[in-house]
Amino acid sequence: MTSRPDSTTAEAPPVRLTSLAHGGGCGCKLAPAVLQELLAGQPAATPFRQLLVGTETGDDAAVWQLDDDRCVIATTDFFMPVVDDPRDFGRIAATNAISDVYAMGGQPIFALAILGMPLGKLPAETVREILAGGAATCAEAGIPVAGGHSIDAPEPIYGLAVIGTCRPSELRRNSGARPGDALILTKALGVGIYSAAFKKEALSADGYAELIASTTQLNRIGAELGREEAVHAVTDVTGFGLLGHGLEMARGAGVTLAIRDGAPALFAQAEALAQDGFVTGASHRNWASYGAEVTLPPGQPEWRRHLLTDPQTSGGLLVACAPDRADALLARIAAAGYPAARRIGSVESGPSRVRIYTEAE
């Protein structure tokens, strides 16, 4: 007679965090077109003269000026798991949320946790590890998790509300780009492609290590860039992909962003995985939302376009700076621990668009 495992002693297989969510990371963001539709007709915040940055330009955080010497930066960001390791998930989500403060040229000072967990589907230890991962990243940034809020949710959600500060002169918006500026991107692209491969168990151990190293690297260089007069605009590249966040910069400044095809650094396996079809649904939604405002090189294959619309969870900073200072700033960024930083294009006079060009142009 065939024996059966003792149901009272056999361990249940661990639950994959990503299996409990319909999406993951910044790929969960509403498509740009949907977000614009939802925000249409919302009351403007212009009566408040102390509000330096609100919703008008799609910037990374809100900014309130306290006095001549101090601004408060406030942001919130949360999402569903992009990986299965709970501590890694917490670290990634916290790094991504803190990035919004750095992208404004600010320094974070404290955070509040945002937690939604499906009760009964995850053990308490898993949730504790998510929180511990977020707290570890906050400690790395030199800030406390000073409180938060939690709810019972159908899918696991974690993130932070982050408060930071800066001087008014150090504030960097996404709308300050000027014609002639050089464009620098501080991290490699490919997070969404890697996460799609991970969900289908097609990402190698080396690929996973590369994914974690990038998505848990704080964008603290942004606070230094805010003190550079040659830096005119900064934004972080997240769920809308390089094209989407580049387009926000173009719209804010009323300019064209010209990006050289192949100039941004890529994760080592990103091209091969994209060619094999490992792309997210968010990549398709992104292109459907803003493709009409992007000019691509003739005959560009679809997989190359997906590298540019790929949603980046905890991606790098897109920087517009004076061209005569670009090489020195690029060297400084690389020396600060961002070896994938690249000069990727320039800002041109023209309509609010993104133009992808090739070496031959």
Q: Say if residue 177 is in the same domain as residue 242.
A: yes
- CATH number at 213 reads 3.90.650.10
The answer to the question of residue 287 being in a domain is yes
Question: Which CATH number belongs to the domain containing residue 138 in this structure?
Answer: 3.30.1330.10
- Kindly state whether residue 6 falls inside one of the protein's structural domains: no
* Predicted pLDDT at 10: 40
What per-residue confidence (pLDDT) applies to 48?
A: 76
> Distance between CA 87 and CA 133 in Å, rounded?
4
Tell me what pLDDT residue 359 has: 80
Q: How far apart are CA 319 and CA 22, in angstroms?
A: 32
Q: Determine the Cα angle at 254 with ends 252 and 256, to 5°.
A: 105
> How far is 142 from 98, CA to CA, in rounded Å?
11
If asked whether residues 216 and 116 sit together in one domain, one would say: no
Residues 164 and 189 in one domain: no
Please indicate, yes or no, whether residues 160 and 220 belong to a single structural domain of this protein.
no
Burial annotation 92-126 (CB, 10 A radius, 16+ → b, else e): bbbbbbbbbbbbbbbbbbebbbbbbbeeeebeeeb
Q: Tell whether 332 is covered by a domain.
A: yes
Estimate the crossing angle of helix 241-253 against helix 281-290, to 10 degrees: 30
Domain count, the chain: 2
Same domain, 165 and 207: no
Give the span between the Cα atoms of 25 and 17, in whole angstroms. Answer: 12
What's the CA dihedral at 182, 53, 82, 314 to 10 degrees? 30
Residues 81 and 64 occupy one common structural domain: yes
Tens-level pLDDT at each residue, the chain (361 residues):
333 334 333 444 567 888 777 766 555 666 666 666 666 666 665 567 789 988 777 888 999 999 989 999 999 999 999 999 999 999 999 999 999 999 999 999 999 999 999 988 999 999 999 999 999 999 999 999 999 999 999 999 999 999 999 999 999 999 999 999 999 999 999 999 999 999 999 999 999 999 999 999 999 999 999 999 999 999 999 999 999 999 999 999 999 999 999 999 999 999 999 999 999 999 999 999 999 999 999 999 999 999 999 999 999 999 999 999 999 999 999 999 999 999 999 999 999 999 999 987 6
Of 169, 190, 213, the residue at which a domain comes to its end is 169
Residues 199 and 329 in one domain: yes
Is the domain of 273 the same as that of 164? no
Residue 355 pLDDT:
98
- What tokens appear for 67 in the block? 């006095």
Query: Do both 242 and 158 map to the same domain?
Result: no
Q: Which pLDDT score is estimated for 8?
A: 38
Q: Which residues pair with 161 in a beta bridge?
A: 76, 112
CB 233 within 8 A of CB 253: yes
Query: Is 11 within the bounds of a domain?
Result: no
- Give residue 73's domain range: 17-29+46-169
Together in a domain, 190 and 132: no
Catalytic residue among 26, 28, 71, 166: 26
Note if 321 is an active site residue. no
Q: Is the dihedral of CA 281, 250, 44, 150 positive or negative?
A: positive
Whether 116 and 136 map to the same domain: the answer is yes
Token pair, residue 27, equals: 């790929």
What is the distance, to the nearest Å, from the Cα of residue 72 to the centroid of all Cα atoms in its chain? 21
Residue 25: per-residue pLDDT:
57
Please tell me the predicted confidence (pLDDT) of residue 254: 97
In a domain, 274, yes or no: yes
Residue 8 within a domain: no
Whether residue 61 contacts residue 72, with contact meaning beta carbons closer than 8 Å, is answered with no
Residue 39 lies in a domain: no
Whether residues 176 and 313 share a domain: the answer is yes
Three-state secondary-structure class, residue 319: strand
Looking at 133, 151, 169, which one is the last position of a domain?
169
